Amino acid sequence: MIESLIKAQAYGLGFDLVGIARLGPAETAPVLDEWLDRGYAGEMGYMPRTAAKRRDARLPVPAAKSAVVVGMDYGGREPSGPVARYARGADYHDVLLERLRALHTRIDGIIGAHVTGKAYVDTGPILERDLAQRAGLGWFGKNTMLINPKRGSFFFLGELLLDLELEPDAPFASDHCGSCRRCIDACPTGAIVDERVIDSNRCISYLTIELRGEIPAEWHASIGEMIYGCDVCQDACPWNEKFSLPLREDAFRPRGAIADKDALTLAREILAMDDEAFRNAFRGSPMKRAKLRGLKRNAAVVLGNADGDSQRYRSAATSASP
């Protein structure tokens, strides 16, 4: 079967999960619309702008009929720290896209002709978790993460949309969260406002990455020592406690600018950085998304939390280039 050959090639390229889904209207489109209507996207204006395409997975690549959906683990057994685990090494967009494109080339070889298609990792107008659930890779946890029963949730998702009629895998139909509320109760800011609903305006990952202005003072104490992103709701999940795996992919190992540094050391180093030092330290890192100004803002909050005087660090935080 072509499907088995495709999956074998995907596993050979280093992906840890592989499933196949047929493209079509997203079952979670109404949930997206309600989430947007409530203003839970915050300043992420690209979400409403691309909502129409996200409602139907056939729209981003009009010729495509099927999706090969992959997952790649990034190490849920690594110790917690001031930077979320996913962002400590190389940019996952680049890592997964390179391998998805290699998979596309290998599929061309299997078919014996070029197959129209496109790879996406996170930035495309696609409801990735919807496709992943449809491809049998897991269910939506109450913290909104896709959870796989053998791996937990510490993995990236990517998709290769193809002009091929492939036999789809059975969707993941069951919900294994039960009555558990550990992720909801653990969230420092109460951002999980209902089961499987996150208000981005309160989420530490949003506040330290996507938000471009000042972080509201009401959330400073809750941010604690987190400089970039947050893993709290994943750390609290019993499925991760039991099934998350050690880091295997070298590309995601912590870079020198982060490795073995506590929050205060890292925060002080970030506040001292100029543009050149920032580029050298975070070249090829997903942390560049926050830009130097954003990282300095976050560092100032962390240092302010440590000594109770956030105002003391604001001038250094605002000295970075836009």
Residue 153: phi, psi to the nearest 5?
-130, 5
Read off the pLDDT of residues 246-293 as tens digits, 9 standing for 90 and up: 999 999 999 999 999 999 999 999 999 999 999 999 999 999 999 999
C-alpha distance from residue 150 to each of 16, 31, 240, 291 (Å) = 11, 27, 9, 35
pLDDT of residue 308: 73
| pLDDT tens track for 197-242 | 999 999 999 999 999 999 999 999 999 999 999 999 999 999 999 9
Q: So what's the pLDDT on residue 316?
A: 60
Q: Are 32 and 130 in contact (CB under 8 A)?
A: no
Taking 70 as the pLDDT cut, the residues of the chain under it are 309-322
> Rounded to an integer, what distance in angstroms lies between the CA atom of residue 91 and that of residue 46?
20
Angle at 171 between CA 169 and CA 175, to 5 degrees: 145
In the block, residue with structure tokens 């009009």: 62
Q: One of 122, 163, 169, 275 is an active-site residue; which one? A: 122
- pLDDT computed for residue 317 by the predictor: 67
Closest CA to 15 of 91, 123, 96: 96
Q: How far is CA 143 from CA 33, 193, 200, 244, 312, in A?
A: 18, 10, 12, 16, 35
Q: How far apart are CA 133 and CA 137, in angstroms?
A: 5
Distance from C-alpha of 7 to C-alpha of 135, rounded to nearest angstrom: 12
How far apart CA 302 and CA 262 sit, in angstroms, is: 11
> How does strand 117-120 pair with strand 17-22?
unpaired
Q: What is the DSSP string of 156-210?
A: EEEEEEESS-PPPPPP------TT--HHHHH-TT--EEETTEE-GGG-HHIIIII
Q: Are 241 and 66 in contact (CB under 8 A)?
A: no
SS (H, E, C) 65-106: CEEEEEEEECCCCCCCCCECHHHCCCCHHHHHHHHHHHHHHH
Under a CB-based contact definition with an 8 Å cutoff, are residues 147 and 104 in contact?
Answer: no
Question: So what's the pLDDT on residue 1?
Answer: 84
pLDDT at 313: 64
What is the Cα 151 distance to its own chain's centre?
A: 16
pTM: 0.95
Measure the CA–CA gap between 270 and 293, rounded to whole angstroms. Answer: 10
What is d(CA 254, CA 252) in angstroms, rounded to the nearest whole number? 6
* 122: annotated active-site residue: yes
- The SS3 call for residue 288 is helix
